[in-house]
């Protein structure tokens, strides 16, 4: 598998942010958005292709997790919190 | 009601200040009516949900934890103790994996972790189990006055069995006096129990130093680390801790599971509380709930990777909350040592404001005054009493909990509402009027108290 290019990384980042924004729960949504952003920001300088690939794999698994949890959240929706 | 024999032995051994704890609960059971100012009511269909700022009572489950648990709730439902088929084997693998994750978080060996139903069970097991095992030669247990109710209650049960218990007082800042502890240890002391981080005031005890003292005197150290594990770095070998209680639902895990760390070298022996098929090394029989154990393991592993990030955020948000409130509201006191604390647990006393009315006024923020276990009775929290807070300030204290999922908006909203409501309640208070006029409240002679 070819090393992940910049565009692939950005594409994963965008997908993760989009999916995180779909959490019905305010707290989970804000946490996921913030955490994804901070994680990508923290790993911005990583050069070694093996590490990049490993991080991308983790990212893809996290994306799948977010998708599953968003669906579960949508199944059991509750009212919004005061701050929304 | 207490039987006559039991009352007699309690009177001999129990220090006077603790009578009120037992009497308080009796009063609510039989005599004086228990007023509940904040009436329980279900949220209306379209009513907005309050903000959750009570992370010491419990925490929401992290989505990653739920994701790890679900397969074991749906498909991999085998009993981990079944030895004869794949359902059992896969369940056992998951359980042992979870055990390793818990052990890694606290620097222990997985063989030293016992799964229980929560920190309360772990505390009961540790205190009663150790005391009863060594009761032939050792009859003394030391604990503090700010411990969780389950620890204090277990000690009371031991007192009824004939043990001597010393309830050490704490200093004004909530910390234990190490010299007092050292002086209290006797040749027949078997156990010292001190919680790592207090659930009401957030004070962090110097467990490392206490471990040093206990190890040098040959006494076991048990610590209730339910509020500390996963939030501050914990290492059982560094701290020389022999027993440690862990609770899953305080670290974004499921409710109903916890763990007890029991040291193997030097070996700590326990008399088991729950007997049966010999699971968990004979210390806690009963089927280990695989999905819950997996949840606890996942929560611990997530906490391990996220600890620094969470701690930074929680400290930052806590500072933000406290600075905002203190800068715009006079006469507010933070209970507990300002340095030796876990930042996510903030206990503030607002002078001249009644705690329950402030909580009612802040009904769109989920807060608590005192711990969830004691919020039913109207007595001021015994923890606040132990740190020497005045009665009136103890009644007006609120605990703010900040956690992994708290946002800046929530903190700003909470601070704003708090400042606004305190101001409003104070304007309605005649005591506040008197204070504004320069009257010294302590000099007033009230006719009937």
Res B231: pLDDT: 96
Q: Do B48 and A27 touch (CB under 8 A)?
A: no
> Tokens for B88?
């059992």
Count the neighbouring beta carbons within 10 Å of the beta carbon of residue B72: 23
Where does B307-438 sit in CATH, by number? 3.90.1150.10
Name the residue in chain B with its Cα closest to that of A73: B63
Please say whether the dihedral angle defined by the alpha carbons of residues B45, B50, B52 and B57, taken in this order, is positive or negative. negative
B373 is catalytic: yes
Helices (DSSP H) in B329-381: which residue ranges? 355-361
Residue in A closest to B406 by C-alpha: A27
Q: Please judge whether A83 and B51 are an interchain contact, meaning their C-beta atoms are less than 8 angstroms apart.
A: yes
| A64 Cβ contact list (under 8 Å, min separation 6) | none
DSSP string, A17-80: HHHHTT-SSHHHHHHHHHHHHHHHHHTTT---HHHHHHHHHHHHHHHHHHHHHHHHHHHT--PP
pLDDT at residue B30, as a whole number = 37
CB contacts, 8 Å: B404 with chain A = 31
Quick one: which H or E segment has residue B346? strand B345-350
Contact B194, B205 (CB under 8 A): yes
Q: Are B418 and A41 in contact (CB under 8 A)?
A: no
Pick from B49, B60, B67: which is nearest to A69 by CB?
A: B67
If interface means Cβ-Cβ distance under 8 Å, which residues of chain A face chain B?
26-28, 30-32, 35, 38, 65-66, 68-69, 72, 78-84
Count of alpha carbons within 13 Å of B164, Cβ hemisphere only? 12
Q: Are B409 and A26 in contact (CB under 8 A)?
A: no
Euclidean distance between CA atoms B275 and B279, whole angstroms: 9
Active-site position among B184, B190, B373, B418: B373
| Backbone Cα Rg of chain B | 23
Per domain, the residue ranges of chain B are 63-302, 307-438
- Comparing alpha-carbon positions, the chain B residue that sits nearest to A83 is B410
- Flag if A69 and B63 touch (Cβ within 8 Å): yes
CB contact under 8 A, B49 and A65: no
* Closest chain A residue to the Cα of B59, Cα to Cα: A27
* Residue A4: CB atoms within 10 Å: 17
Cα-to-chain-centroid distance, residue B62: 20
Return the DSSP state at B219: -
The answer to whether the Cβ–Cβ distance between B405 and A30 falls below 8 Å is yes
| One pLDDT digit (tens) per residue for chain B, 449 residues | 434 444 333 333 334 444 333 433 333 333 334 445 567 777 776 788 999 999 999 999 999 999 999 999 999 999 999 999 999 999 999 999 999 999 999 999 999 999 999 999 999 999 999 999 999 999 999 999 999 999 999 999 999 999 999 999 999 999 999 999 999 999 999 999 999 999 999 999 999 999 999 999 999 999 999 999 999 999 999 999 999 999 999 999 999 999 999 999 999 999 999 999 999 999 999 999 999 999 999 999 999 999 999 999 999 999 999 999 999 999 999 999 999 999 999 999 999 888 888 888 998 999 988 655 555 566 778 899 999 988 888 888 999 999 999 999 999 999 999 999 999 999 988 888 888 888 887 777 777 66
Give per-residue burial for B132-168: e unless 16+ CB within 10 Å, then b: bebeeebbbbbbbbbbbebbbbbbbebbbeebebbbb
Res. A82: pLDDT tops 90: no
- The verdict on a CB contact (< 8 Å) between A79 and B413 is no
* Closest CA relative to residue B202, chosen from B398, B44, B395, B62: B398
Pairing of β B189-193 and β B220-224: parallel
Widest distance between CA atoms in chain B: 80
Q: What is the pTM of this model?
A: 0.88
3-class DSSP state of B249: helix
What's residue B373's pLDDT? 55
Contacts of A82 in chain B (CB under 8 A): 48-51, 364-365, 413
Contact B221, B178 (CB under 8 A): no
For residue A84, the distance in angstroms to the closest alpha carbon of chain B comes to 9
- CA B319 – CA B207 distance, rounded (Å): 25
Q: How many helices (H) and strands (E) does chain B have?
A: 14, 12
Instruction: Answer whether B94's CB lies under 8 Å from B76's CB.
Output: yes
* Collapsed DSSP state (helix, strand, coil) of residue B70: helix
Q: What is the pLDDT of residues A7-19, one digit of tens each?
A: 999 999 999 999 9
Quote the crossing angle between the two packed helices A6-20 and A49-75, to the nearest 10°. Answer: 20
Determine, for residues A27 and B64 on separate chains, whether the beta-carbon distance falls below 8 Å: no
Residues in chain A, total = 84
What tokens does B411 get?
């903190």
CATH for B63-302 is 3.40.640.10
Contact B365, B417 (CB under 8 A): yes
Selected residue of B49, B307, B362, B411 to mutate for chain A interface (largest A Cβ count, 10 A): B49
Domain ranges of chain A: 3-75
Q: What span, in angstroms and rounded, lies between the C-alpha atoms of A80 and B262?
A: 43
CB A70 within 8 A of CB A16: no
> Scanning every residue of chain B, which has its alpha carbon at the shortest distance from the alpha carbon of A20?
B63
pLDDT at res. A74: 93
Q: Which residues of B touch A83 (CB under 8 A)?
A: 51, 407, 409-410, 413
DSSP letter for each residue of B206-257: -HHHHHHHHHHHT-EEEEE-TTTTTTS---TTTTT-SEEEEEGGGTT--TT-
Cβ–Cβ below 8 Å for B63 and A38: no
pLDDT at A72: 94
User: How many other CB atoms are found less than 10 A from the CB of residue A35?
Assistant: 16
Residue B410: its chain A contacts at CB < 8 A?
A: 83
């Amino acid at each position: 598998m070819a090393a992940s290019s910049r565009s692939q990384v950005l594409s994963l980042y965008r997908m993760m942010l989009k999916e995180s924004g779909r959490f019905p729960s305010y707290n989970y949504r804000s946490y996921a958005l913030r955490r994804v952003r901070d994680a990508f920001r923290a790993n911005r300088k990583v050069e070694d292709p093996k590490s990049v690939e490993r991080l991308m794999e983790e990212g893809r698994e996290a994306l799948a997790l977010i998708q599953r949890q968003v669906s579960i959240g949508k199944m059991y929706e509750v009212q919004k919190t005061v701050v929304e | 009601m207490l039987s006559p024999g039991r009352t007699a032995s309690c009177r001999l051994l129990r220090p006077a200040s603790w009578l009120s704890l037992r009497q308080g609960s009796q009063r609510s059971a039989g005599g004086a009516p228990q007023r509940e100012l904040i009436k329980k009511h279900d949220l209306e269909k379209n009513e907005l949900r309050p903000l959750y700022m009570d992370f010491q009572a419990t925490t929401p489950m992290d989505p990653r934890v739920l994701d790890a648990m679900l397969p074991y709730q749906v498909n991999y439902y085998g009993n981990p103790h079944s030895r004869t088929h794949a359902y059992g084997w896969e369940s056992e693998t998951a359980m042992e994996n979870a055990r390793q994750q818990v052990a890694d978080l606290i620097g222990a060996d997985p063989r030293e972790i016992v799964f229980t139903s929560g920190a309360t069970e772990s505390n009961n097991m540790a205190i009663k189990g150790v005391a009863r095992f060594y009761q032939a030669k050792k009859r003394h247990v030391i604990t503090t006055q700010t411990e969780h109710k389950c620890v204090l209650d277990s000690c009371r049960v031991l007192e009824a069995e004939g043990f001597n218990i010393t309830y050490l007082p704490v200093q004004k800042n909530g910390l234990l006096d190490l010299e007092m502890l050292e002086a209290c240890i006797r040749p027949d002391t078997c156990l010292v129990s001190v919680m790592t981080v207090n659930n009401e005031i957030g004070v962090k005890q110097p467990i490392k130093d206490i471990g040093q003292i206990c190890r040098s005197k040959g006494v076991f150290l048990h610590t209730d680390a339910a509020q500390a594990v996963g939030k501050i770095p914990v290492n059982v070998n560094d701290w020389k801790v022999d027993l440690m209680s862990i609770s899953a639902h305080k670290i974004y895990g499921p409710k109903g599971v916890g763990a007890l760390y029991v040291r193997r070298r030097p070996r700590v022996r326990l008399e088991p509380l729950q007997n049966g098929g010999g699971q968990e090394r004979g210390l806690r029989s009963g089927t280990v709930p695989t999905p819950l154990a997996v949840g606890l393991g996942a929560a611990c592993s997530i906490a391990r990777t996220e600890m620094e990030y969470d701690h930074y955020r929680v400290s930052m948000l806590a500072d933000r909350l406290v600075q905002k409130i203190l800068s715009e509201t006079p006469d507010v006191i933070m209970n507990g040592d300002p340095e030796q604390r876990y930042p996510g647990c903030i206990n503030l006393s607002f002078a001249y404001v009644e705690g329950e009315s402030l909580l009612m006024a802040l009904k769109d923020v989920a807060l608590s005054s005192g711990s969830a276990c004691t919020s039913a009775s109207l007595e001021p929290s015994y923890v606040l009493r132990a740190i020497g807070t005045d009665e009136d300030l103890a009644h007006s204290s609120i605990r703010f909990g900040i956690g992994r999922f708290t946002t800046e908006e929530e903190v700003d909203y909470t601070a704003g509402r708090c400042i606004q409501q305190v101001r409003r309640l104070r304007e309605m208070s005649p005591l506040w009027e008197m204070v504004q006029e320069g009257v010294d409240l302590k000099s007033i002679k009230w006719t009937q108290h």
